[in-house]
Every structure is written in structure tokens, then in C-alpha cells.
């Protein structure tokens, strides 16, 4: 492997490791939080409600000369802001499994709000009903929004698309050439995940204890009582723009080389072992395993020089962007709830970006002022988990021939000579049926 290739691979792994230590520092509260985040006790059932809300504001650059390009960009971003600013994604999740992970049921309902709320009935549902390691008893049901089902004659009027993993693999025939039963062995997956994370977690905690970013990130901890009368804690995390850059610099310079090497190889070994568990399922896994083992040999031989090059390069980059705004005034502000058992049960916060496009363009040697001065973008997020490892009732949807179509039947119908998607349709259709389908969706015709 060439030196440049080695640096790219090592940089990727180190970047991942940096992200994993993002929420760490050196205070007692920060170390307590990172230990809670790395908790690996199994969760076999829970309910969760979560939401994401987006805001977007693109600030034109008044210094940019008037041009068609400038007018076009300003119009484009006004339209994007009108439709995407305030976009929201609500999601509810239910997961129910027995303690041995022999069977599992799952329900996910996603409801997006986009385009100023003009498009209606966009909710998507997904249900899983499966037995561990049995592809023939691995069933999924998808609730299609009307805007999707109306696009095809095959799915028009249908509410659900059903999928059976065993049937799909049989439909694919010999081309699959793989045994997927082990991949869907939930008990094996859970045990392997906990076992693989333990050494990685230990070395992350070791690395975090060495970091000294010279800023307090966990601004406080408050006690809370849950619905069962049990005492939990809420950590109040705050990372400013300058604090974020200090954190990255600390992750690069305060963690000693041996600990960084230990972390790199802990992540790499866990990845290799995870792939080894399923390498017999497909040739793809064997090829991945071979590539990662080669990478490990190269890293063992060239780590010292490569690491020094990367540390130097990242420090140079951090010096360059020191005065470039990345995070907005709210920065990264999160309340993180931990229950009495040590499970993370709540995330409530915002990531606020204020990207200085003009300054970045100057650093890159731009000859002319860019059309955009700054992009303000924020993501508000919330998740609350409950009923952890308790009984969770999940009702599968009522599937009939009238309200559903199977994946197999859909594929067969699309491959028939008179299919809606054959060459004659593509070449000769006047798209009348498509226009009728779109207009049938409530609210969409308002466009």
C-alpha cells in the first residue's frame, strides 16, 4: 500500500475514533457521561418517540457582483428556504423480543412534514415479524403512502407491500449464492455486539481520560424521577464553536501515540471479528475480510510514520480553520437522560451550524466573492425511550389480497411483456396515467 493510501485509511479510522470521543472531556461528569454512552447491557424491548426538525437560512453575499448566476442562486435558496425551512420528521418505534432473542417484532411509523406541509398522507409504516435465524419466517410489511402507491398500476389501490426474506432469496435463485441465516440470528448478533464493544469501550475511556481540551462541556447534572418513581440523571452538554475546535485539537494532541494505536486496532479488530462471524454467508464478506486483514498488516508496519504525518496534517488544518465559523450561537446543546439502570433514555437538543462560506472560499484561494456569504442550518432533535426490557405490545397490520401486494408478485408483474414499465411504455407513453396518479394524491395538485 502506498504512503498516500495508508494515510487515507488511517485518517478515516482516526476520524471515526475522534467522533467516538467527541462527547468526552476530563471532568468527573464528562467521564460519567461517556461511560453511560458506552454501556453495552442488552436491550431486547422498548418504545421510543423521536423527532427531527430542520431550519435553513442562506445569506446572500452583498459583495458579490450582480450577475445572472447571483440572481438565480438567490431565487433558488429562497425557494429552498420556503419549502425546507421548518421541515420535520416524527418517528415512533416499538421493539419487542423475548429475552433469548428467539423471536422479534418491530413497528416503525415515520411521518414527514415537508414542502410547507402541502403534501399530505406521507406517513410510512414498517413492521417486522421474525424468528431468529429463520429466513422463511422473516416477514416485513410496508405501509405505502398514496403518493408512492399511485405511481404504479401494480401498486395502485394497495396499502401494503409485503416481503418474506426466504421467498425473496428463492426468487433470486442461484445468483444469491449465500447463506443469510446467520446474519439474522438475533441472539448471536446481540452477544457478538456486546463482546466486541467491551475492549473498544475500555480504550475509549482510557483515551478520554487523557484529553484536556481546557473547557467544561457538561455544564451540569440534574436529578429526575421517572414514571416508576426511580431516580435518574440528565446531563446538560454544551459545545460552542471554539470548544468544538479545542475538542478536536485535544483528541489529536493529548492522546498519546500508544493509546491512539490501541484505539485504532481495537476498532479494527472488532470490525474484523464482526465480519469473520458472517464470512461464510457470502463471497462479499470474505473479500471484505481479506481487505481489512491486509490493512491491519500495513498499519502495523507503518503506523508510527503515518500517525505523525496525520497529526501534523490535522493540526495544520485546524490552524487554517481556527477563525472560520462552523457552529452557530447555540452550538451543540443537548440534554441527555440516563435512567437508574444506566440506559440512555432521552436526547433533547440542537446542532446549530453557521458556516462562513465567504471565509472558506478565501482560504481556498477564490478569486471572486462567492454568491453566498453564510449558510445557517440547524437540526433540533428529540428522543424519549420507555418500557426498556418490559412487555411491549405490537400489533401486525391486517394483510389481505385486496389491500396488499407481495414483493414477488410485484417483480413478476414488472417483468411481464405487457408491464407498465416495459420498453413500449418508456418509448411511447404520454404519461397520462402518471399525471392522473399524481393529481389523485391529496394536496400534491396544489403545486
**In angstroms, what is the C-alpha Rg of the chain?**
26
Segment 267-274 mean pLDDT: 83
d(CA 7, CA 249): 18
Find out whether 318 and 249 touch, Cβ atoms under 8 Å: yes
More confident residue, 377 or 170: 377
Classified as helix, coil or strand, 341 is coil
pLDDT tens string 24-41: 444 677 778 888 887 767
Among the ranges given (14-23, 199-208, 236-245, 308-317), the one the predictor scored with the smallest mean pLDDT:
14-23
Assign 439 a pLDDT band (cuts: 50, 70, 90): low
Helical spans, DSSP H, in 100-185: 146-149, 165-172
How far, in Å, are 126, 131, 136, 148, 392 from residue 107 at the CA level? 6, 15, 20, 20, 11
d(CA 133, CA 183): 7
Find out whether 299 and 6 touch, Cβ atoms under 8 Å: yes
Order the strands of the 218-225 sheet from edge to edge. Answer: 218-225, 231-239, 327-338, 344-356, 372-386, 45-60, 88-97, 103-113, 124-131, 134-143, 160-164, 404-406
Per-residue confidence (pLDDT) for residue 117, from 0 to 100: 56
Strands 160-164 and 404-406, sheet pairing: parallel
More confident residue, 226 or 7: 226
> What's the mean per-residue pLDDT of the chain?
78
Assign 183 a pLDDT band (cuts: 50, 70, 90): low
d(CA 304, CA 297): 13
pLDDT tens string 281-320: 556 667 778 888 888 888 888 888 888 888 998 998 888 8
More confident residue, 175 or 347: 347
Segment 317-342 mean pLDDT: 90
Amino acid at each position: 500500500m502506498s504512503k498516500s493510501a495508508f494515510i487515507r485509511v488511517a485518517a478515516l479510522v482516526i476520524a471515526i475514533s475522534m467522533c467516538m470521543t467527541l462527547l468526552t472531556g476530563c471532568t468527573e461528569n464528562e467521564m460519567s457521561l461517556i461511560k453511560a454512552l458506552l454501556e453495552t447491557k442488552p436491550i431486547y424491548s422498548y418504545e421510543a418517540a423521536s423527532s427531527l426538525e430542520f431550519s435553513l437560512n442562506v445569506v446572500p453575499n452583498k459583495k458579490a457582483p450582480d450577475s445572472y448566476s447571483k440572481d438565480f442562486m438567490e431565487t433558488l435558496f429562497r425557494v429552498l428556504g420556503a419549502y425546507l425551512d421548518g421541515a420535520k420528521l416524527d418517528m415512533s418505534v416499538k421493539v419487542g423480543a423475548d429475552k433469548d432473542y428467539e423471536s422479534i417484532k418491530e413497528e416503525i411509523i415515520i411521518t414527514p412534514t415537508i414542502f410547507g406541509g402541502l403534501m399530505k398522507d406521507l406517513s410510512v409504516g414498517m413492521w417486522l415479524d421474525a424468528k431468529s435465524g429463520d429466513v422463511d419466517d422473516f416477514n416485513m410489511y410496508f405501509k405505502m403512502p398514496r403518493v408512492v402507491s399511485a405511481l404504479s398500476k401494480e401498486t395502485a389501490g394497495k396499502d401494503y407491500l409485503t416481503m418474506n426474506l426466504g421467498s425473496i432469496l428463492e426468487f433470486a435463485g442461484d445468483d444469491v449464492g449465500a447463506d443469510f441465516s446467520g446474519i439474522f440470528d438475533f441472539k448471536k448478533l446481540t452477544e457478538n455486539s456486546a463482546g466486541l464493544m467491551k475492549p473498544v469501550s475500555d480504550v475509549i475511556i482510557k483515551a478520554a481520560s487523557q484529553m484536556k481540551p481546557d473547557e467544561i462541556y457538561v455544564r451540569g447534572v440534574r436529578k429526575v424521577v421517572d414514571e416508576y418513581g426511580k431516580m435518574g440523571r440528565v446531563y446538560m452538554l454544551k459545545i460552542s464553536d471554539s470548544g468544538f475546535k479545542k475538542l478536536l485539537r485535544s483528541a489529536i494532541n493529548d492522546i498519546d501515540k500508544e493509546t491512539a494505536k490501541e484505539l485504532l486496532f481495537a476498532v479494527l479488530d472488532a470490525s474484523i471479528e464482526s465480519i469473520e462471524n458472517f464470512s461464510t454467508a457470502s463471497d462479499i464478506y470474505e473479500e471484505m475480510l481479506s481487505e481489512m486483514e491486509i490493512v491491519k498488516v500495513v498499519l502495523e508496519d507503518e503506523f508510527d510514520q503515518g500517525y505523525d504525518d496525520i497529526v501534523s496534517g490535522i493540526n495544520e488544518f485546524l490552524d487554517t480553520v481556527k477563525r472560520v465559523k462552523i457552529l452557530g450561537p447555540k452550538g451543540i446543546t443537548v440534554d441527555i437522560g440516563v435512567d437508574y439502570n444506566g440506559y440512555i433514555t432521552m436526547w433533547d437538543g440542537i446542532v446549530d451550524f453557521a458556516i462562513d462560506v465567504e471565509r472558506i472560499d478565501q482560504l481556498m484561494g477564490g478569486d471572486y466573492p462567492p454568491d453566498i456569504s453564510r449558510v445557517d442550518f440547524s437540526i433540533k432533535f428529540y428522543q424519549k425511550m420507555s418500557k426498556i426490557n418490559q412487555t411491549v405490545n405490537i400489533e401486525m397490520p391486517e394483510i389481505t389480497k385486496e389491500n396488499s401486494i407481495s414483493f414477488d408478485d410485484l417483480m413478476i408483474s414488472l417483468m411481464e411483456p405487457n408491464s407498465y414499465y416495459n420498453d413500449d411504455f418508456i418509448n411511447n407513453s404520454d404519461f397520462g396515467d402518471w399525471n392522473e396518479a399524481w393529481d389523485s394524491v391529496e394536496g400534491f395538485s396544489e403545486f
